[in-house]
Chain A
Amino acid sequence: MSQYSTGTNSTRRYSTTGASSRNHTSQNPPQRVVKRKKQFSLLSIGKGLDVPFCMLIVLLLAIGITMMFSASYPVAFYEIGDSYYYLKRQLLFAIVGLAIMLAVSYFDYHHFHRFSALILGVSYFALIVVLLIPSETGVRRWIGIGDYGIQASEISKFAIILFLAHWGSRYYNKMHTFKYGVLPGAAVFVSTAILLLLEPHYSCIVIVALLTVIMLFVSGIRIKWIAIAAVLLAAAILLLWATGLLTYAMDRMDGWGKALEYIDEDQWQQTWQTRNSLYAIGSGGLFGLGLGQSRQKYLYLPEPQNDFVFAIVCEELGLIGAIAILLIFALLVWRGIVISLRAKDRFGKLLGIGLVSQIGLQVILNILVITDWLPNTGISLPFFSYGGSSLLMLLFQMGIVLSISRSANIEKI
């Protein structure tokens, strides 16, 4: 399968890109590739699996589970009666997840070319099924299997990355056209977004939108389409605003940015979680209160094991700890991008970039939410937030990145 995509691309390359300046730069690649190989080999320990990336994942997972445990044990103790409740489950999922990751890394990611349309179909199916399940709260996001459930949107994010990587690599040289470059991506995004709107799951729409833009941008569409999309998006939001469809999101945004002010009882209750998140972050200072010493986790900050786990991290480890963790995330993203760029084929490159970007995006959006720069809409922090299915999904995706690294390294020999 890999022969298929790389082959067609290389034969079409010169015929489609006519700009002379590009021809100039493309005269030198053989030497540059050699240079890069040397650079990479310094960081690439052994052959096959990319060990630095793998270590970064294990490191983040270890820190993440530790902090999730620290944040969750009072809640687990008071509400469930077992301080280790969340830890035990998360550990179990992490072990299973790591096994899946390793297994997937041996799986040739090129097979996903074939499955991309199918998985996109599964994504739509899941999004529709979710809407049919009755819910007490009016929010329909989960598909349950026994005691466990998965958010339909977790599948959608992956499906869109996969599909756009498939499409972008297949029609890479036509991506500057509207028909190939913009239309399919826009169609997939809009249809998914409509279904997410019905759940509703606004934060996921934001992530899906950003992922679509990233994938199309890297696949080479013209910048002007992105600009036009931004304008359209703004118009669409205005329209939704006017028609009142944004009620739920508006409700959640009520008091956004004003968590510390008392306006009225409703707003005060609504911003309770965000306010206590800010108290926790502020309490941490430069060096933090020390591991396990958070006070805000004692039922002041609701659900500290979920989206707001990083607030407790900030309280216990301080700005130093928070920056250190962000650096590890940054290293992971950077390493992931490096791995992706080393992939022999565009499908591998695009898929890897998409999957790694998703982590970066979620980290940024999550922290902007807990610091009250974005409305509180439910974006989890990868490797840290409690949740079995999302952790499994995350490690499955990391397995794909490792699979890309493996094939890239193998072929370099």
Chain B
Amino acid sequence: MGANQRLRQRTVWLLIIILVLGFGAVITRLAYLQLIAGEDLQQKAVSQQLSDTTISAKRGTIYDRNGKILAQSASVWQVVLSPASFKTDEQRIYVANRLSEILGLEAEDVLEKTKQNSYYTVVKRKIESEEQKQILELMNEVEDKFKLSSVIALLDDYKRYYPYSELASSVIGFTGSDDQGLSGVEYQYDEYLTGTPGRLVTATNANGTIMPFDYSQNIDAIDGNSLVLTIDETIQSIIEKYMRNAIKDYKVYNRGVCIAMDPNNGEILGMATVGGYDLNDPFTISKEEQKKISEIDKDYLLEKGYITEEETYTAEEMSEILATAKSEAESAALSKMWRNKAISDTYYPGSVFKMVPLSMALEEGTVNKDTRFNCMGVFNLYGEDINCHNTGGHGTQTYAQALCNSCNPAFIEIGQSVGEEKWWEYYQAFGFSEKTGIDLPGESDDIFFSEDGTMGPVDLAVASFGQNFSITPIQMITAACAIANGGELVQPHVVKQILDSEGAVIENISTEPKRQVISNQVAEEMRGILEQNAIGGTGKNGYVAGYRVAGKTGTSEKLSDSNGDGVQDYIASYCGFAPANKPEIAMLVFFDTPLSGNYYGSAVAAPVFAGIMGEVLPYLELDAQYTEAEAANIDTTAGTYTGLSVTEASKSVNSDGFDVTIKGEGSTVVAQVPAAGSKIPTGGTVVLYTDETSVEEKVTVPNLIDYSVGDVNYIASYYGINISITGAVNSADAVAISQDIAEGTTVSPGTVVTVTFSSGGVND
């Protein structure tokens, strides 16, 4: 029995080991996982089950101030795969091929995805309805063919559309692949636009379809809020049209900026960095930049320090270095393209800034009506000669004349009269030492001589005409607005209202004026001086016929030679507002490095300012008041004369204030040039055609550039065309600087050619 006893004993031991040790260990482990680690594990499980089912909220719309849509999200789809659901390689290959066909992807890449050991992998995002239909067909096909129902799935997705493509690109900004704002308003107001993603009440399985059991706590996705911008699409379009043309005409190397702002409340009406980029395709750089990058060679690598002369490189190393250089150049080009120059770049404000020291001096009373400034063309400051742009000298001037002459020596004296301490106080008061706080990302700080405002006498002298310290364009126009609105420093902003997804206003955004910088009286006097400047001073190229415009030119030197031609670079700018007595719009026009030869603000920026204002002011429904001389150049709208008898038509043309020319032998008017509704200067000629053959008569547009207003009118009547005049026509020395229909173009008689005039002889 001993042997059986041993068997029994050992069996009991075995039982103890299995039940106590084995089962004990198992139960201990389970108890730990379910009771102690349970909460944590459950949370992870739930977040896995729920996060997959999160429904993205629809991103809010961005409107201009009149409700035009600038950015909008539309429903699209994303295609996802459940690779682990495939049974055979044959199925994988088939689905990968079909998917790559429909979606235009590499079949190999898709095949790679079908081989992953997971239940969820995104194949392509943001597909549109055409592709979506094909995918639905493919899903049916796969189900019929392979009995696989859950391999491919379509999930909701949104895509951002920008109907105006390039318009206001630096302000609106764009979104990334996950619908997150990456720049501009899209970035700044991302949390409003994004909305609250829905936590789907029902949990879903790993494929994203809803689980068939009750697990409900439905929290709907709350669509993002919409934004109403202060930007006016019409004004913005006008600005960009003029800026684009100017950049081409003046061969501007480093883009241009225009900011239009309501001086009374800080609302930005238009803000353009031109050339911009297509918001619908923000990751493609311009062809020129692409060409530059493709031309990167050894010299470039040496210059930029990627390689050195001393070292030798294998071909492999070289191609690697080249690839690095190219990708770095590309990302640099992208960030330059996206950069909102209006708020992110700093520049020497130049003579435009002179309105600020004069305001200081008037407020402090350090200059008065009796103060005289004598300009000999050069100012000797502690043994150093500082030249005036008019090297012949401006002679004896009042402060108002000094500003209209943009006289540097006079402003050195004005600056000195204020003194360093007060100068710094006002500099701060005008908001140059701080960010304006505009609701856009990437605003830069100024760069002053020192952190605490201390500056030497030479610093003070040159600062008084806007050199050797840097500010942003937005700071400059905000300071100009303080002069325009009666002395208050406002905070610029681009968003006017926040709307909920239903369109109801949930927040009106307005910014409080930060402080009174100068008194209303001083501001009023400054407006008067600046208006005089626009009428007859250095700023006269910014004049707009019929409107009381005030403005100041500026030409500032740049420290860097940005295009590398070894010639000093300049920034041409013009800052002004209208109407001068009660300003409703202030505007800064700014060109970085014009290379066409003439780089003065008066020649480059002022006509653009005038052109934009000439269209914007009537759009703002401000009443025009013309001088007698201007009245002669006022355009009138041509009526409809076709269908009338020749006598009736002639009478009608004459009563509208035009001369009439009749071509052809018929008795009824069959055609007219200019067309009904076109603008023709009063006293212009309307050509009436009475038969079809005469319509084919053409004239050739002559060259009008460099002629005076009188000459241009004479030439036009000789050639049988009409002239619409814009620009500085009040100046006796004004000459035509551009014509909108080029010389040599064949047109019908009576066609209107718009000619822009500019006053020469102003080098500022």
Interface residues of A (CB under 8 A from B): 9, 13, 16-17, 19, 22-23, 25-26, 29, 74, 78-81, 172-173, 214, 217-220, 260, 269-270, 272, 276, 278-286, 292-293, 295-296, 298-300, 302, 314, 318-319, 322-323, 326, 329-330, 333-334, 337, 340-341, 346, 349, 353, 357, 360-361, 363-364, 367-368, 371, 373
A22 to B2, CA, bound (A): 5
Q: How far is the CB of B122 from chain A (nearest CB, A)?
A: 15
Across-interface contacts of A74 in B (CB, < 8 A): 205, 211
Q: Is B458 an interface residue (CB 8 A)?
A: no
Q: Is the CB of A300 within 8 A of B206?
A: yes
Across-interface contacts of B505 in A (CB, < 8 A): none
Partner of A81 from the list B1, B149, B204, B206 (CB cut-off 8 Å) is B149
Q: Is the CB of B11 within 8 A of A353?
A: yes
A13 to B207, CA, bound (A): 66
Partner of B207 from the list A23, A299, A323 (CB cut-off 8 Å) is A299
Taking CB atoms and an 8 Å cut-off, the chain B residues in 434-477 that contact chain A are none
Partner of B2 from the list A23, A283, A322, A329 (CB cut-off 8 Å) is A23
Some 14 contacts from A to B, beta carbons below 8 A apart, are A17-B2, A74-B211, A78-B207, A80-B147, A269-B117, A272-B117, A282-B44, A292-B213, A295-B215, A323-B30, A349-B7, A360-B19, A367-B26, A368-B26
Across-interface contacts of B148 in A (CB, < 8 A): 79
Across-interface contacts of A295 in B (CB, < 8 A): 45-46, 49, 203, 211, 215
Q: Is B622 an interface residue (CB 8 A)?
A: no
- Known A25-B1, A282-B44; further 11 A-B contacts with Cβ < 8 A: A16-B3, A74-B205, A214-B14, A295-B46, A314-B33, A319-B30, A319-B35, A333-B15, A334-B19, A367-B26, A371-B33
- Secondary structure call for the B interface: helix
Q: Is B332 an interface residue (CB 8 A)?
A: no
How would residues 3 to 22 of chain B score, 1 for a CB under 8 Å from any chain A CB and 0 otherwise?
11111101100110011001
Q: How far is the CB of A71 from chain B (nearest CB, A)?
A: 13
Q: Is B38 an interface residue (CB 8 A)?
A: yes
A269 to B113, CA, bound (A): 13
Q: Is the CB of B10 within 8 A of A220?
A: yes
Q: How far is the CB of B120 from chain A (nearest CB, A)?
A: 9
Which chain B residue lies CB-closest to A27?
B1
Q: Is the CB of B14 within 8 A of A357?
A: yes
Q: How far is the CB of A19 from chain B (nearest CB, A)?
A: 7
Q: Is B254 an interface residue (CB 8 A)?
A: no
Q: Is B29 an interface residue (CB 8 A)?
A: yes
Q: Is B31 an interface residue (CB 8 A)?
A: yes
A371 to B27, CA, bound (A): 11
Q: In the complex where A78-B150, A286-B34, A333-B15 touch, is A19 in contact with B207 (Cβ < 8 A)?
A: no
Q: Is the CB of B14 within 8 A of A218?
A: yes
Q: How far is the CB of A91 from chain B (nearest CB, A)?
A: 22
Across-interface contacts of B5 in A (CB, < 8 A): 22, 25-26, 29
Q: Is the CB of A364 within 8 A of B35?
A: no
* Max count, chain B CB within 10 A of own CB: residue among A13, A25, A281: A281
Q: How far is the CB of A76 from chain B (nearest CB, A)?
A: 12
Q: Is the CB of B84 within 8 A of A302?
A: yes
Interface residues of B (CB under 8 A from A): 1-8, 10-11, 14-15, 18-19, 22-23, 25-27, 29-31, 33-35, 37-42, 44-46, 48-49, 82, 84-85, 116-119, 147-150, 203-207, 209, 211, 213, 215
Q: Is the CB of B116 within 8 A of A281?
A: no
A16 to B6, CA, bound (A): 13
Q: Is the CB of B49 within 8 A of A13?
A: no
Q: In the complex where A279-B44, A292-B213, A361-B18 touch, is A318 in contact with B3 (Cβ < 8 A)?
A: no
Q: Is the CB of B205 within 8 A of A298?
A: yes
A217 to B8, CA, bound (A): 11
A81 to B147, CA, bound (A): 8
Q: How far is the CB of B352 from chain A (nearest CB, A)?
A: 57
Across-interface contacts of B31 in A (CB, < 8 A): 319
Partner of B45 from the list A22, A80, A219, A282 (CB cut-off 8 Å) is A282
Across-interface contacts of B29 in A (CB, < 8 A): 367-368, 371, 373
A329 to B15, CA, bound (A): 12
A80 to B148, CA, bound (A): 8
Partner of A29 from the list B1, B27, B48 (CB cut-off 8 Å) is B1
Q: Is the CB of A26 within 8 A of B2?
A: yes
Q: How far is the CB of A385 from chain B (nearest CB, A)?
A: 16
A323 to B23, CA, bound (A): 9
Q: Is the CB of B35 within 8 A of A285?
A: yes
Q: How far is the CB of B118 from chain A (nearest CB, A)?
A: 6
Q: How far is the CB of B49 from chain A (nearest CB, A)?
A: 5
Which chain B residue lies CB-closest to A285?
B38
Partner of A341 from the list B11, B85, B211, B213 (CB cut-off 8 Å) is B11
Q: Is the CB of B147 within 8 A of A283?
A: no
Which chain B residue lies CB-closest to A214?
B14
Q: Is the CB of B42 within 8 A of A326?
A: no
Q: How far is the CB of B2 from chain A (nearest CB, A)?
A: 3
* Max count, chain B CB within 10 A of own CB: residue among A280, A285, A299: A299
Q: Is the CB of A333 within 8 A of B18?
A: yes
Partner of B150 from the list A16, A25, A79 (CB cut-off 8 Å) is A79
* Max count, chain A CB within 10 A of own CB: residue among B5, B11, B38: B11
A89 to B211, CA, bound (A): 24
Q: Is the CB of A296 within 8 A of B45?
A: yes
Partner of B23 from the list A173, A298, A330, A340 (CB cut-off 8 Å) is A330
Q: Is the CB of B15 within 8 A of A337?
A: yes
Q: Is the CB of B11 within 8 A of A340?
A: yes
A333 to B15, CA, bound (A): 8
Q: Is the CB of B41 within 8 A of A278?
A: yes
Partner of B18 from the list A22, A284, A360 (CB cut-off 8 Å) is A360
Across-interface contacts of A346 in B (CB, < 8 A): 4, 7
Which chain B residue lies CB-closest to A292?
B213
Across-interface contacts of B149 in A (CB, < 8 A): 78, 81
Across-interface contacts of A272 in B (CB, < 8 A): 117-118
A326 to B33, CA, bound (A): 16
* Max count, chain B CB within 10 A of own CB: residue among A23, A26, A364, A368: A364
